Amino acid sequence: MRLTDSPEEASWRQHVREFLQSDLPEVLRPKPGVDPFAAMAAAMGFGGEAGGDARGRPQAQAGGAGFSLAGGPIGEWRQKLADRGWVAPAWPKEYGGAGLSTMEQFILNEEFAEARAPQLGGMGVMMAGPTIIVHGTEEQKAEHLPKILKGETQWCQGFSEPGAGSDLASLQTRAVKDGDDFVLNGSKIWTSGAQFANWMFMLARTDPDAPKHRGITYFLLDFKSPGITVQPLVQMGGGAGFNQVFFDNVRVPSKNVVGEVNRGWYVGTTTLDFERSGIGSAVGIRQNVERMIQWAKENVGEGHSMLGRNPLVRLELADRLVEANVAKMLSYRVVHMQNVGMVPNHEASMAKLFSSELGQRIARAGIKMLGLYGLAWDAQSPHSPNHGQYSRGYVQSVSGTIAGGTSEIQRNVIAQRGLGLPRD
Ligand SMILES: Cc1cc2nc3c(=O)[nH]c(=O)nc-3n(C[C@H](O)[C@H](O)[C@H](O)COP(=O)(O)OP(=O)(O)OC[C@H]3O[C@@H](n4cnc5c(N)ncnc54)[C@H](O)[C@@H]3O)c2cc1C
């Protein structure tokens, strides 16, 4: 594994960096003391708590009335990225992507993360589009891919159910053939962004008598279809980033089946592979620790920084920075394997496990650094150091070891496939 850029990679990095310096709209550039996520949310035209504006809405009808990624500063930014194929850098050029190699994508992601520039991918670019490219019909490609690239469709992922998360193949949402349609009944849960979505890619059971992996079909569901209800789930941090979605006799045309009927499990694993191949969080992790260290230095003696009083806080910050660099190395390993045509398996689980648990350790270090002020929540209060960011980050970090596969599941993968230990 090589840890420095080749001359070609260095020149690609420089190219991306120069583009970001010259073209990233002012409103999207990071400002000292401003939460980058809040700035992004404001530029997109929705405010409120992290994750959405659905707080307090007891129920929302589906249909994607939420916000648009096509207009305003984000629309302008999207156009600049689209001109280069960088809305979907990993997609082949024939579908409007940039057809970048793994290493070029990684460098692009790193530079975007360093500049904290929004990539606008979303689930359409990251998961729905790539799955349609691999398994979809020509008609599905023509209908969906251009709209995903233009930001005209917002997608959500309807996989998890109240009784099916880690054991996804146990899902019970039923799809019954009726003429040219299937009729859906059941419920999905933890559906991120469903309150903003106008399409969902989802799995439903079409043959309840078949072995559980064999009776599942993959559908593209228009969220304007009658019979869909989205119930926002308010998290303990106050945001309503995800939802429960109910289907009451929802009709899906057969042309919206991706792949073969009853073979949807294998299409779904393609989507999960794309979901888990996301690279780039390591830069964000390091930046978090660096911002924390900077804040601790600037606020010594201000009463709410424990740095001058508690030597353990210093050691914590030092440990977190070392670990942030370990997380980066684990990501490099995954990227290196992809780049030479290997398929990362337990190596990807190691990177996910380590970085999500590190995210929680960093959040705890932030709270410890503040002492009792770490309990302050109100972003506007003069008693909330750093606008309550560390208290909120602490609460929000909890979900990192659940989303995208829990830590226990990652450890099982490492134990069985990495260490060769028996299943039981
Ligand atoms: C922030 C966030 C966003 C999400 N967004 C989406 C989304 O958009 N779409 C979607 O479909 N889903 C989404 N999810 C759901 C996510 O994929 C599931 O929460 C996750 O797969 C775990 O499933 P579960 O919640 O049903 O927990 P369960 O599978 O019921 O697990 C409960 C506990 O048992 C443990 N456990 C389960 N099986 C084993 C085992 N074999 N060995 C050891 N321990 C085990 C787990 O680790 C966990 O601690 C999201 C979740 C979060 C937190």
pLDDT tier, 40 (very low <50, low <70, confident <90, very high otherwise)? very low
**DSSP state for residue 225 in the 8-state scheme:** S
Ligand 1 pocket residue status of 160, Cβ below 6 Å: yes
As beta bridge partners, residue 176 has 183
Return the pLDDT at 279. Answer: 53
- pLDDT > 70? residue 49: no
What one-character-per-residue DSSP string does 326-385 give? HHHHHHHHHHHHHHTT---SHHHHHHHHHHHHHHHHHHHHHHHHHGGGGG---TT-TTSG
Question: Which tens digit of pLDDT belongs to each residue from 70-116?
Answer: 667 888 899 999 999 999 998 999 999 999 988 899 899 899 988 98
pLDDT category at 3 given cuts 50, 70, 90 is: confident
Residue 121 CA to ligand 1 centre (angstroms): 23
Residue 66 pLDDT exceeds 70 = no
Which pLDDT score, from 0 to 100, does residue 56 have?
A: 30
Q: Is 233 in the pocket of ligand 1 (CB under 6 A)?
A: no
pLDDT value for 32: 63
The pLDDT tens digits of the residues spanning 305-330 come to 888 788 888 999 999 999 999 999 99
Residue nearest to atom 7 of ligand 1 (CA): 191
Chain centroid to Cα 159, Å, comes to: 15
Stretch 385-406: mean pLDDT? 89
| pLDDT per residue as tens digits for the range 163-193 | 999 999 999 999 999 999 999 999 999 999 9
Hey, which residues are catalytic here? 275
* C-alpha–C-alpha distance, residues 203 and 181, integer Å: 15
The CB density around residue 266, as the number of other CB atoms within 10 Å, is 14
**pLDDT band for position 135 (cuts 50, 70, 90):** very high
Atom 32 (ligand 1) nearest CA: 166
Confidence band of 44 (pLDDT split at 50, 70, 90): very low
**pLDDT recorded at residue 341:** 85
Give yes or no for residue 398 CB within 6 A of ligand 1.
no
Please count the other Cβ atoms lying within 10 Å of the Cβ belonging to residue 225.
19
Q: What pLDDT, on a 0 to 100 scale, did the predictor assign at position 259?
A: 98
pLDDT of residue 387: 84
397 in ligand 1 pocket by Cβ < 6 Å?
no
- Unique residue bearing structure tokens 């099982």: 412
pTM: 0.89
